[in-house]
Amino acid sequence: MWLARLLLPAAALCQLGGDCGTVTSAGALGNASFSFRAQSGDDIPVTPIASGGTTVEIRAWVHSGGCNPAPSFTHVASSHPDVATFTYDGALVTATTGAPGTTDLELLAADDKLVDRLSLEVEDIAALRFANAAAPRVLSGSGFQVGVGLFDAEGRPLSGPGRVQVTGTAPLSVTASDHFLGTAAVVSGTGAGPGTGTITAVAGDVQASLDVQVVARTDITAVELGTGSWAPRYFPSGRLWAVWTTPSTAEGPVYGAACSWTISDPSVTLSSSSTAADMDDSVHNNAQFELASPGTFSATCTVGGAQTTVTLKR
């Protein structure tokens, strides 16, 4: 696992569990910490919540160390129940939103004394935005995913699990699931054949659309080696080369278009290969080659009628 992380540019590490910053918020009295709980079970940052019936799970834990620890809490309350109500099952607090506004989640001890509180904002969904709005292309028969986020009138991300519904026109087939970050949904889909389909995301009265072009393998006209931070790299400790490639049509890069690799010498093995399918990111397929012997070798990527060759040295 450490090697796979090492081979990625720094910008991608946060998405794979690297240091994305703190995910906890301190209570107003300093006695407790809070985080939202993603569908995956991960702790995620507290953000404004979409109004109108959104349900969010919240972790709350009291700091037990020090000379004068705060008492544990046994139940919860809302300072403004019209904005959000809260329930506690002994493990998680569940918030259910109502009208826009601000309310305090109050942690209460058995004697009803306030242990700590967290201010939460509830806002109307004002916009939906796809993470990739550039009419992306995907290879026919390949899967893809793209994020669609919820935003308030000020452009701030909103937590809204389950609020986004999606549909797709032919040749696309799509479904949506809650994103692990909590402020977006992930649209997963495939294209059954060449053509352009439209994904429409809806949350209440708000909607957004994204055109996705599905292309045939024969439409691939070029495969380019990565440059800059995506340029081929050699890792001597693992005798390993990491290579990134981008397949394209005349109109631009294509997601889901895997390389077929031809290697010049049997001492070089293709140890792993992955194909870019996340439309939130750029199109960079990855291949890793292990060089068992010293020398200079070549590996050729073929996609459709297009090829590119990389030189591998040890």
Pairing of strands 49-50, 114-123: parallel
Domains of the chain: 21-123 (2.60.40.3440), 127-215 (2.60.40.10), 218-313 (2.60.40.10)
Contact 256, 279 (CB under 8 A): no
DSSP string for residues in 186-244: EEEEEESSSEEEEEEEEETTEEEEEEEEEE-GGG--EEEE--GGGS-EEEGGGTEEEEE
Euclidean distance between the first and the last CA atom of the chain, given in angstroms as a whole number: 23
Q: pLDDT (tens digit, 9 = 90+) per residue, 155-180?
A: 999 999 999 999 999 999 999 987 66
Q: Over the stretch 230-267, which tens digit does the pLDDT of each residue have?
A: 999 999 999 999 999 999 999 999 999 999 999 999 99
Q: What pLDDT score does 7 carry?
A: 40
Cα–Cα distance measured from residue 140 to residue 128, given in angstroms and rounded to the nearest whole number: 27
**DSSP character for 63?**
-
Note the pLDDT of residue 182.
75
Assigned token pair, 138: 């995907």
Phi-psi category of residue 14: left, alpha or beta, with phi > 0 → left and psi -120 to 50 → alpha:
alpha
Exposed / middle / buried, residue 289 (Cβ in 10 Å: 0-12, 13-18, 19+)? buried
**Category of 91 on φ-ψ map: left (φ > 0), alpha (ψ -120 to 50) or beta:** alpha
Distances (CA, A) of 237 to 6, 240, 272: 12, 8, 17
Is residue 171 reached through a cis peptide bond, with omega within 30 degrees of 0 on the bond before it?
yes
**Other C-beta atoms lying within 10 Å of the C-beta of residue 13:** 14
Mind listing the pLDDT tens digit of every residue in the chain (314 residues)?
Answer: 223 333 433 333 233 333 344 689 999 999 999 999 987 788 899 999 999 999 999 999 999 876 677 889 999 999 999 999 999 999 999 999 999 999 999 999 999 999 999 999 999 999 999 999 889 999 999 999 999 999 999 999 999 999 999 999 999 999 998 766 678 899 999 999 999 999 999 999 999 999 999 999 999 999 999 999 999 999 999 999 999 999 999 999 999 999 999 999 999 999 999 999 999 999 999 999 999 999 999 999 999 999 999 999 99
Residue keyed to tokens 């942690």: 107
